[in-house]
A = this chain, B = another copy of it.
Amino acid sequence: MALGLAAVALVAVAGGAAEKPALMPWPSSIEVGQGELAVTPAFRVGVTGRGGAIVEKAAKRLEARLARQTGLALPDPVAPAAKPTLEVRCAGPGKPLPHLGMDESYALTVAPEGATLEAAEPWGVLRGMETFLQLVGPGSSSGFRVPAVSIRDQPRFPWRGLMLDSGRHFLSLDTIHRTLDGMAAVKLNTLHWHLTEDQGFRVESRRYPELHRLGSDGLFYTQAEIRDVIAYAAERGVRVYPEFDMPGHATSWFVSHPELATAPGPYRIERRWGVFDPTMDPTKEEVYRLLDGFLGEMAALFPDPFLHIGGDENEGKAWDASERVQAFKRRSGLATNHDLQAYFNRRLSKIVTGHGKQMMGWDEILHPDLPKDTVIHSWRGQESLGAAAKQGFRGVLSNGYYIDLVWPAGRHYATDPWDGGVDQLPEAERARILGGEATMWSEYVSDETIDSRIWPRAAAIAERFWSPREVKDVDDMYARLDGVSRWLEWQGLDHRAGYARMLQRLAGLRYHELRMLTDVVEPLENYQRGGTGRYTQQTPLNRLVDAARPESDAARAFSRQVDALLADPARRAGRETVRARLGEWAGLSVRLRPLLESRAALQEAVPLAAEASALAAAGLEALGFLEEGVPAPETWWSSRAPLLEREKRPATALEVAYRPAVRRLMEVAAGR
């Protein structure tokens, strides 16, 4: 079986001039054959074997999705093919629910006469169907086609997750369902559902109904809704497991149950973002009694064997301020707050285990006393997971996959769970690294913007978790990502259409010039946005920064053009392309000014547009010096260099994405 890299080369040869299929995750083995399978209105899926209801339903969905993707009216009731176009063979039904370690492998063979998808269990069928759909495209000899291929595929890691934070901003059921569709489309198999936070308690508790009644502003999921989500996810081969964050990040619990907190209260739902002091009191038995009752209820609601108890970011201030907690520590011989939290976690672990679940928590919970089936969820990094693995704990990596940090896809893609020395571990220890999770913390996302924050970048992360480690060429990933992004929109996601719609809301009838600007800016990375204004749960997320995409494709393309130019300055064609783009951008500020000044919501973009244009103008000047072949004078450099520093705390929270490329141009022009 050819591994990733070899397969990529193979495609390039066998595929000739044809576009490389926009598959993501890239399969572990792919061979491209001769010819193609035509996709016509007579297309039909045939199911054989004993896959059961999950396979049958998936086959129906595949026909409907193919109809949507191609415009063909499927299934055609009049002329169904005598023999199925895609034959699905599933050996057995497997367990009724998706589970850690399920068999997701499949083999897909496409030939001009027909396609065959084989798998041992329904999970493999589901993954293979996504591959099949990604392969369907407009053809050069018929309306739609699938290239002849032979694919054998299985995941590298069994735990490939996305975390959704419904606590900080409530996410509608529509959003949850849409996201599950997207996850399944790129073979993610685990939804980590962050359900309680300082800012909201989002799950119905029948045993303690004040928890959600008083802690959620009425924005919570009923148990029936959660069961629906779990069933919807299961049909798509996605596990769902909950997180109830404690002892910190728990203010919303204390609104109705102040007795759980270390300080007396009263408490209100937190509206700001950050790390706050309110913390559960680990010294009170009634805390464990309620947690036992509540987690028992949740353990029955969520069938997955894992239950996440958070455990992060407890700074211990509430404990330090409490006489009772201090006395308890002394009495119990607990020297530090970390020891006290370990005590809390051991108590919690007994409760969780008592309800038949395996406990999971963030790095902070790691302690030798915990049972070895505890799973460490790492926001700190691979070293942390490696250390845990050495102690016998399993781990899941999220460091490097925080998609709320608004990094480019390529940067997440470059992070591997085996980095940081993990690949040096003995096989038995390394195998304890189960995989990873992209985390979508929701301070700065709403139902309207979340698609553009998750997609398409999460597809690149999904490839990191699924494909062989050797599949890591960033340019190749980006070349496929664009096609996958469009395909994801056909699956019902809104990250592309929403962009135009939001810009039209901001700009009105003529939004094309605003779009030109927004195409080349990016939201500030990491959590710098918080420093550009006062944000709370109530702050509308309807500004230019919310419309802007995490990553500027135009700036990335421009950067490549600049690199090509600097590598070979004689190439006149490349120079003209660079000049044309800079010329457009240099004029933006003047062209946009009337619009920006006439709309309140756009006034903050006036300095941004001015900065973008000044930077482009300086780039044009640099190009002129390069063309003349004389180094730019020092006075030019000293007057233009300040443009290379971004304005501090820009109100827009946006950055001009072509700044680094212009910097390179200017530095070469000035001989620096």
Contact = CB atoms under 8 A, between A and B. Distances in A.
A448 B537 CA distance: 37
A387 to B, nearest CB: 41
Given A489-B501, A500-B497, A538-B79, A448 B41 contact: no
Contacts of A598: 140
Classify the interface of chain A: helix, strand, loop or mixed.
Answer: loop
Contact of A137 (B78, B269, B496, B508): B508
Nearest to A69: B505
A601 B143 contact: yes
Contacts of A482: 509
A33 interface: no
A141 B217 CA distance: 30
Nearest to A482: B509
A454 to B, nearest CB: 18
A70 B141 CA distance: 46
A531 interface: no
A72 interface: yes
A286 to B, nearest CB: 28
Contact of A139 (B538, B542, B546, B600): B600
Nearest to A598: B140
A598 B16 CA distance: 14
B600 A143 contact: yes
B140 A599 contact: yes
Given A71-B541, A138-B599, A138-B601, 19 more contacts: A41-B538, A41-B540, A71-B448, A71-B505, A71-B540, A72-B540, A73-B537, A73-B541, A78-B269, A78-B271, A78-B538, A138-B506, A139-B600, A140-B598, A140-B599, A140-B600, A483-B508, A483-B509, A490-B505
A486 interface: yes
A269 B77 CA distance: 11
B600 A141 contact: yes
Interface in A148-166: none
Interface in A456-489: 482-483, 486, 489
A502 interface: yes
A446 interface: yes
Nearest to A603: B140
A482 B542 CA distance: 22
B218 A71 contact: no
Nearest to A142: B600
Interface in A598-619: 598-601
A508 B68 CA distance: 16
Interface string A533-557: 0000110111000100000000000
A219 interface: yes
A218 B599 CA distance: 52
A73 B541 CA distance: 8
Contacts of A142: 600
A442 to B, nearest CB: 12
B502 A71 contact: yes
Interface centre among A76, A496, A538 (most CB of B within 10 A): A538
A504 interface: yes
Contacts of A143: 540, 542, 600-601
15 contacts: A19-B508, A19-B509, A71-B446, A71-B502, A71-B541, A73-B169, A73-B537, A77-B219, A78-B217, A78-B269, A79-B538, A140-B598, A483-B508, A490-B501, A497-B500
Nearest to A200: B77
A139 B509 CA distance: 14
Contacts of A486: 504
Contacts of A496: 500
Nearest to A597: B140
A78 B537 contact: yes
Given A140-B598, A599-B140, A600-B139, A542 B501 contact: no
Contacts of A70: 505, 540, 542
A152 to B, nearest CB: 27
A78 B137 CA distance: 49
Contacts of A546: 71
Contact of A138 (B271, B505, B541): B505
Contacts of A68: 448
A657 to B, nearest CB: 20
